[in-house]
Chains A and B, each alone.
Chain A
Amino acid sequence: AQRVTQPEKLLSVFKGAPVELKCNYSYSGSPELFWYVQYSRQRLQLLLRHISRESIKGFTADLNKGETSFHLKKPFAQEEDSAMYYCALNPTGGYNKLIFGAGTRLAVHP
């Protein structure tokens, strides 16, 4: 079955600390993986995708096919990073029929 698992509902860190939001997926083919973010009172928006291998707002994510993981990392968290983060899988290729994880709330304290 195609599934995305985010094991942590809440991740609480202090400003300046490293952050890693975990994402594991279950999919038999070649996955397309994404991270979406939802800041307070804002709509869901794309943060990054594994294909582009880019760094957005200091966040990076590496696809590890052996561990079927796509963890999101940032070396030094900022208070403005506090948000809800969703990992998502596109199993179809082409159009985006996304499968989302349950999300992890990141709280960065001063």
Chain B
Amino acid sequence: NAGVMQNPRHLVRRRGQEARLRCSPMKGHSHVYWYRQLPEEGLKFMVYLQKENIIDESGMPKERFSAEFPKEGPSILRIQQVVRGDSAAYFCASSPPLLADTQYFGPGTRLTVL
């Protein structure tokens, strides 16, 4: 099992562009979580998804951010019209359906907005 995969590992965007971050959960995992880490801070919960459903998006900014976890393919965190304040490390974690309290983290995507 390759573990949680995230790509790209580094992403550079100019202000106003779109950023798409991908997360492939571990095999057999149907729960995905996204976290954001700003410099000198801890990880902040953004959204929790199960296949084709958003369960909890209480940590997502109201505008420009969206997430999906389709039936087939990776989970996508999408940031439209990026601003400098979006520069951060974005981590994805997954958990199996019967052990929702155990999360396995990906290596993260570092987004830099110029």
Interface residues on A, range: 20 to 34
Contact at A98–B105, with CB atoms within 8 Å? Answer: no
Q: Does A46 contact B (CB under 8 A)?
A: yes
Q: How far is the CB of B89 from chain A (nearest CB, A)?
A: 10
Interface flags, A27-44, vs B, CB<8A=1, else 0: 000001000100000011
Contact at B102–A46, with CB atoms within 8 Å? Answer: yes
- Residues in chain B near residue A6, CB distance under 8 A: 42
Q: Does A97 contact B (CB under 8 A)?
A: yes
In Å, the complex CA distance between A9 and B42 comes to 11
In Å, the complex CA distance between A43 and B6 comes to 11
Q: Does A13 contact B (CB under 8 A)?
A: no
Whether A97 touches B48, Cβ cut-off 8 Å, given contacts A46-B102, A86-B43, is yes
Q: Does A100 contact B (CB under 8 A)?
A: yes
Q: Does B101 contact A (CB under 8 A)?
A: yes
Contact at B103–A86, with CB atoms within 8 Å? Answer: no
Contact at A98–B95, with CB atoms within 8 Å? Answer: no
A residues 84-110 in Cβ contact with B at 8 Å: 86, 88, 90, 94-103
Contact at B43–A95, with CB atoms within 8 Å? Answer: no
- Residues in chain B near residue A86, CB distance under 8 A: 42-43
Q: Does A4 contact B (CB under 8 A)?
A: yes
Contact at A102–B41, with CB atoms within 8 Å? Answer: yes
Contact at A100–B101, with CB atoms within 8 Å? Answer: no
Contact at A45–B105, with CB atoms within 8 Å? Answer: yes
Closest to A97 in B: B45
Q: Does B72 contact A (CB under 8 A)?
A: no
Give the top 7 A-B pairs by smallest Cβ distance, nearest first.
A100-B42, A44-B105, A95-B100, A100-B43, A102-B42, A43-B107, A43-B105
